[in-house]
Structure 1
Amino acid sequence: MIPFGKRIELGTLFDDLADRRGSTTVHVSRPLDIAPGLGTALDPPALARLVRAASGWLAAAGAGRGDRIAIAKRDHWDTVLLCCAAARIGAVPAPLSAHLDAGTLDTLLGRLGPALLVTDSARLAASWTAGGAPESRAARTLLLDGDSATALTLDDVRGAPVPAPYRPPVDHPLAIMHTSGTTGVPKLVTHTTRTLLRRLAGFEAHRWPLLSARPDDVLAGSFSFVHGRALAWTAVALTHGPREILAIPSSDWAEAGPLLDRHRPTVVEAQPATFVRWRSRARHDDHPFDRVRLFISTFDAVHPPTVRTFLRATRHPRPVWLQGWGQSETGPLTFRFLTRRALAAERERHPTTRDLGRPVPGRTRLRVLDRVTLRPVPRGAPGLVVCATKAIADGYVGERSRFERKRAGRWFMTGDIGVRTRDGRLLLLDREADAVPEGSGAELEDVLEDRLPDVAECVVLSVPGGPSLPVVVTDADLDPDAWREATADLPELAAPIAVKWDGVPRTGTGKVRRGALRERLGLAPDTYGTGRWT
């Protein structure tokens, strides 16, 4: 294995790994948008050539060292390749989710002030239809498909000379990633080589028992490839060198299913919303998860029925689910291993995934503060969770004061409410902005999903002056008797509202946009939280 911390750089990632023996094959669920002719089975040498060529495109389009390059296109793993190409010429990539509405995209581009916008026809058309003008926010625009009278196209830059690679100082900006944006306009988080590669990916790239990919593994990743996790996941996966890597940008089974069926993964990492969408497939006899030894969930809370379904689905004798908790600004802060036994329901006990385990040893520290005084509270008392980690991001683009408001010395405000137990575990209650008076909305969601098998997801919204409102996502009719039985021993809740999956506004990572959901349901924007720490 190449010593990760010393040799791997984002811009030359594929060059550095291209000649290694036992090369990994990367399979994508559909051809790359930037190189459809390469097909769906890719090797590191071919990917290295593509990244080098793309770096020439970006340079020919006018981007250079220190410039910001916004990448706003249909979600695919080739966004990672474009980020590598930008880093290779010393530019700073800023990938932006295809799920952003036109106004939000314009706001983020205004904060970035990019020298170059890399986009596609669908993104431009969607913005124009909604009254946006993303190309006006950048000095130049490169269109990846089709023709344009006002923007450069790939035909204009294809075949351009490939610049020599540039390795930026480790504390200079490397990439800008936006947060999910569940509570409003996403924040633009700046990471450096030191924070993103040396400390986050570098730690993960060690050969950890159980967690690290093995030479015979088939790794599947299905999440939003515009987020920082995609860069770290790609770098670590390629460094470990499994037999195959499956990059799946869509949770739609029509796209994801055939690739999973053909290659039968042994490790699956996905955002929780994707696992929820795949849960019904995992209950079928012909599902492709029978060889999985390790499941990994990132980005959001995952609920017990989802974990239990996949742990039962695999034929591996001792499968493990790794539940990590962290943020775009900090990387992973805690982790917990879940097993079949840990998620088995017992009489009068309802397993919850709100227990997030302990801080990463030697890497992170946690404290819990009083919500009013911001003074530490004793173990067992709820409060605002703050963390200390050397992997903390460099700041928010265009919102420096917001970042500094959340930071006090080495401590950073996560915006979550939790409890530290006497033995050091963290029990997550809620986001501070989403707090409910009934104790923990997240735990209520755990219990309700556990007791109602036909409910794919439950969202509990606080309603100041009244009981909290449960919104249940289900394709079936909600049985009133089953609901009464499920909630008989719970705090008072309002009558539930049943919706379909597409009836819930979501971020690119599948998280529920609770503010937008409140608006859609006609609820007042006021909550029991302040939203000060988001």
Structure 2
Amino acid sequence: MKPHDMGVLFDECAERGVHTRVFLDRPFDIGTEEATSYAVPQLAALVRRAAGWFAAAGAGPGDRVALVKPNHWDYDVLACAAVRMGAVPAQLSDQLPAESLGVLLRRLEPALLVTTAAVWEGLRASLGPEGLPRTLLLDGSGPGALSLADVEGAQAPAPHRRHDDEPLVVNHTSGTTGVPKLVTHSTRTIIGKLARFETVRYPRIGVRRDDTLVNANSFAHGRTFCWTASALCLGPAEIAILTARDADAADPVLRAHPPTVMEALPASYVRFRPLTERLDNPFRRVRLFISTYDAIHPPVVRSYLAASGLRSPLWMQGWGQTETGPLTFRFHTRSSVAADRRAPGSRGVGWPVPGKTRLRVVDPDTFRPVGRGRPGLVLARTAACAAGYVGEDERWAAKRHGAWWNTGDLGVLRRDGSVELLDREVDRTARLSCLRTEDLLEERLPRATECVLLSPSGRLPLPVVVTADGALDRAEWERAVADLPPLADPVALTWEEVPRTGTGKVRRTALLRQLTGSARTVGTGRWT
């Protein structure tokens, strides 16, 4: 089965006898739902009910419906409901700063805001009641807002069919350097070009009907909307959803449903890593680990591959953007990460997706191609490129160069056709690659949970070392940086002290301002 119309995805899977059972680490954030286990027909019924709620609350075909709530897979269930009745869901993380959410809501001008009572109170306090659209609360009630009691029982409208090139869903970028962009994808781009590609049962990496898929992701983002389409159509035996970022909270679900295929945020892999060291670790059946969104450091990959009890587990790393979907892929094995340990500091992100993406590296000033092995600005060409930014047409146009998309990343195209990333242009430094240096430091500082190198304008690069207790051994640090260019004195922080996005990425601009009082960097930020 291939996905197409997300409004009837769950209905079609139920009709075709998909027997996947979905398990949740906690109930959905919908007040009528207390279950932590669903069959596909039950999820299809929930989508139809929610479509009725949205229609009764005043949303109609072509309207935008903003979804802002705690992280859970019901982001996609509710998005499918909005699609079913003809609206365009806009999935916004409740982890965004209040000022960013306010900007995004003004750009969206949604006909309906769907949220929870707790998030609603926070929005009212920060943005004011006059700054919020018509609102439907998924749980409880609030002044001036509709509750589910007001719309429950409303008949779902018939499925609304849209052209493949009409807006389907709006997702925001990560927001590591400021207010995120709102990216509009169509059925053709995010489903036709991305999700359908994932429904092929490729040897070794394709999903099997006896698989248990575990996903620990940020469900407000486009990656999981695409994943929902492909995973359901592939019909694995089980899907388990993890919303918890804490290892002890995730452990019971992982043990009850030990994964054979695991996809998670890089930040979640970092947080769950202590589980790999247990004798009865829950990753012993995993044959395929998948990571997207952000850099994944070699020591983390090494821990999970070692934890698998299978002979030759794989780690599939993807690099891409919300605007484009995956651009490159790379597979890691136990032997390849052992080689990385012998020669650390090279951030190779693999090869362009065959038949799907092309890459070129150009001079940032002239946009003329540079030779293989020389650093420059990475441009991408893909039919999966989104339709635009909501409310920022000029910004979108500035990042398009004919058929090519400006990623804003600096990198090197190697002679074998693979890509090595150096930095985001806005994060670059004069004498070294932040990404390479972060990898080196994580190899040399075994007690570090994460290393971040910031690039303040007019100053030495500023290293931040995240440890369990916020402490750093000075002698160990001096040994780690002995052969590196000059760096500022390190700052040691705990995980909780570092500002992060909903995907767990470091909000570098906010962290730089927190530590130095200024957000100015060496890079220009022209293509951020």
TM-score (norm 1): 0.96
1:299 aligns with 2:281: no
Work out the CA distance in 1 between the residues paired with 2:108 and 2:145: 19
- CA distance change for structure 1 residues 268 and 444 in 2, over 3 Å: closer, same or farther? same
1:186 to 163, 180, 183: 180
Work out the CA distance in 2 between the residues paired with 1:197 and 1:72: 23
Work out the CA distance in 2 between the residues paired with 1:467 and 1:149: 51
Cross-structure match for 1:481: 475
Mapped contact 1:117–1:135 kept (Cα < 8 A):
no
Mapped contact 2:18–2:40 kept (Cα < 8 A):
no
Mapped contact 2:201–2:208 kept (Cα < 8 A):
no
1:165 aligns with 2:169: no
**Following TM superposition, by how much is the alpha carbon of 1:523 offset from its aligned partner in structure 2, in angstroms?**
4.5
1:209 aligns with 2:191: no
Cross-structure match for 2:343: 350
Decide which moves more: 490-499 or 87-96. Answer: 490-499
Opposite residue 124 of structure 2, the aligned amino acid is: W
1:132 to 119, 123, 127: 127
Cross-structure match for 2:323: 329
Cross-structure match for 1:119: 115
Cross-structure match for 2:353: 360
1:101 to 90, 97, 103: 97
Opposite residue 403 of structure 1, the aligned amino acid is: W
Q: Deviations over 1:22-45 (max 9, x none)?
A: 500011110111155451110100
Work out the CA distance in 2 between the residues paired with 1:336 and 1:351: 16
Work out the CA distance in 1 between the residues paired with 2:490 and 2:311: 39
Cross-structure match for 1:289: 283
**Following TM superposition, by how much is the alpha carbon of 1:346 offset from its aligned partner in structure 2, in angstroms?**
7.4
2:463 to 461, 466, 470: 470
Stretches of structure 2 that go unaligned for 5 or more consecutive residues are none
Q: How much is the aligned-residue C-alpha RMSD, in angstroms?
A: 1.4
Mapped contact 1:304–1:353 kept (Cα < 8 A):
no
Question: Where do residues 144-155 of structure 1 align in structure 2 (5 Å cutoff)?
Answer: 144-155=138-149
Mapped contact 1:356–1:425 kept (Cα < 8 A):
yes
Question: Where do residues 225-244 of structure 1 align in structure 2 (5 Å cutoff)?
Answer: 225-244=219-238
Q: Deviations over 1:279-314 (max 9, x none)?
A: 112112232111111000011011011101111111
The runs of at least 4 consecutive aligned structure 1 residues that moved more than 6 Å come to none
Mapped contact 2:349–2:418 kept (Cα < 8 A):
yes
Mapped contact 2:330–2:350 kept (Cα < 8 A):
yes
Work out the CA distance in 2 between the residues paired with 1:87 and 1:353: 42
**Following TM superposition, by how much is the alpha carbon of 1:413 offset from its aligned partner in structure 2, in angstroms?**
0.2
1:425 aligns with 2:426: no
Work out the CA distance in 1 between the residues paired with 2:129 and 2:354: 43
Q: Deviations over 1:335-369 (max 9, x none)?
A: 0000110111578x333461011100110000101
Mapped contact 1:99–1:507 kept (Cα < 8 A):
yes
Cross-structure match for 2:435: 442
The 3-state SS of whatever aligns with 2:368 is: coil
1:70 aligns with 2:66: yes
**Following TM superposition, by how much is the alpha carbon of 1:216 offset from its aligned partner in structure 2, in angstroms?**
1.1
Decide which moves more: 394-403 or 523-532. Answer: 523-532
Cross-structure match for 2:258: 264
**Following TM superposition, by how much is the alpha carbon of 1:135 offset from its aligned partner in structure 2, in angstroms?**
6.6
**Following TM superposition, by how much is the alpha carbon of 1:209 offset from its aligned partner in structure 2, in angstroms?**
1.6
Q: Deviations over 1:224-280 (max 9, x none)?
A: 101011111111111111110011122123432211111100111011001011111
- CA distance change for structure 1 residues 155 and 264 in 2, over 3 Å: closer, same or farther? same
Work out the CA distance in 1 between the residues paired with 2:468 and 2:344: 25
Work out the CA distance in 1 between the residues paired with 2:129 and 2:435: 37
Stretches of structure 1 that go unaligned for 5 or more consecutive residues are none
Work out the CA distance in 2 between the residues paired with 1:216 and 1:290: 16
Cross-structure match for 2:306: 312
Number of equivalences: 527
Q: Deviations over 1:139-180 (max 9, x none)?
A: x11011112331111000000011101121000000000001
Work out the CA distance in 1 between the residues paired with 2:141 and 2:461: 51
1:380 aligns with 2:373: yes
The 3-state SS of whatever aligns with 2:249 is: helix
1:496 to 479, 490, 499: 490
Opposite residue 425 of structure 1, the aligned amino acid is: S
Mapped contact 2:429–2:522 kept (Cα < 8 A):
yes
Work out the CA distance in 2 between the residues paired with 1:488 and 1:331: 39
